[in-house]
Amino acid sequence: MSSELAALVRASHACVVLTGAGVSTASGIPDFRGDHGLWTRQDAARVASIDGFYADPRGFYAFWGKHLAGLERATPNDAHLVVAKLEARGLVHTLITQNVDGLHQIAGSRDPLEVHGNFRRARCLQCGARYETASFLAELRPSETPSCTICSGLVKPDVVLFGEALDSSFERAQAAVRACDLLVAMGTSLEVAPVSDLVPAAVDAGAKVVIVNRDPTPFDDEATLVLDGDLVARMRGLARELVLPL
């Protein structure tokens, strides 16, 4: 029940929220991974791995260009808004997200730890120049290699691809989880390591764990509370319990 979650959030002094694709599906963003994701297993090596990117950067951008328009049009849903309100109220101290859509910031979250990066940004791999992915793509001709206007280096979206290590935001996420007393994992299947390791890390640190997800996760047995069903409805329920206006 949302009332149980509200009681746990109220009692917590250091609450960490971890979000995954399920938070953004209500905004029309498809789950990138998984059986019904944007890419099939064959696609993954080509369009979602660092080797695939280096092998065919034009093909990589051609695939992602099709999905970028949808991402640009997407707006935050009430789940994003409730998380932002919880932060503003001081009830959530750290937000960790696996999503690369940037919707948490648009909803008002200040400094989410984007452990898989953010597709809206891109960077030159040679000189570090920064680009907005959408405007960079808009100026790119299909026959052109996606290269930096300053140094001609290859420009890559700021997302963590298969075969790449996570950046320092993941270390900050680990530190936040080790110091938390409540971890609320929402909209994530908790099947993608190393992010899924954050749940046992929280348990080891003595924190309570709440899992809000449509489907069962491998960590449900370790959770204090498991809520299934519609995530956005759950979050609206939480907002009502905590008297957070939406």
In angstroms, give the least distance from the CB of 114 to Zn ion. 22
List the one residue from 47, 100, 148, 183 that touches Zn ion (CB under 5 A). Answer: 148
Does 235 bind Zn ion (CB under 5 A)? Our answer is: no
Does 233 bind Zn ion (CB under 5 A)? Our answer is: no
- Closer to Zn ion by CB, 50 or 225: give it: 50
Does 127 bind Zn ion (CB under 5 A)? Our answer is: yes
Does 149 bind Zn ion (CB under 5 A)? Our answer is: no
In this structure, what token pair is assigned to residue 243?
A: 């008297």
Q: Which of 68, 107, 2 is nearest to 95 (CA)?
A: 107
List the one residue from 11, 69, 138, 151 that touches Zn ion (CB under 5 A). Answer: 151
CA distances from 154 to 54, 56, 60, 124, 148 (A): 9, 11, 12, 6, 6
- Stretches 39-47, 49-57, 101-109, 144-152: which one binds Zn ion (CB under 5 A)? 144-152
Strand spans (E) along 108-148: 113-114, 117-124, 130-132
What Rg value do the Cα atoms of the chain yield, rounded?
18
Whether residue 80 lies in the annotated active site: no
| Residue window 185-224: x/- pattern of binding to Zn ion, with contact defined by CB under 5 A | ----------------------------------------
List the one residue from 153, 179, 222, 240 that touches Zn ion (CB under 5 A). Answer: 153
Please tell me which residue in 80, 93, 104, 116 is annotated as part of the active site.
116
CA distance 101 to 141: 24
In this structure, what token pair is assigned to residue 53?
A: 């990117």
Does 125 bind Zn ion (CB under 5 A)? Our answer is: no
CA distances from 102 to 23, 113, 158, 181, 189 (A): 12, 11, 11, 26, 20
CA distance 108 to 110: 6
Specify whether the CB–CB gap between 177 and 184 falls below 8 A.
Answer: no
Does 57 bind Zn ion (CB under 5 A)? Our answer is: no
Does 129 bind Zn ion (CB under 5 A)? Our answer is: yes
- Closer to Zn ion by CB, 108 or 153: give it: 153
Catalytic residue annotation: 116
- The footprint of Zn ion (CB under 5 A) covers 124, 126-127, 129, 148, 150-151, 153
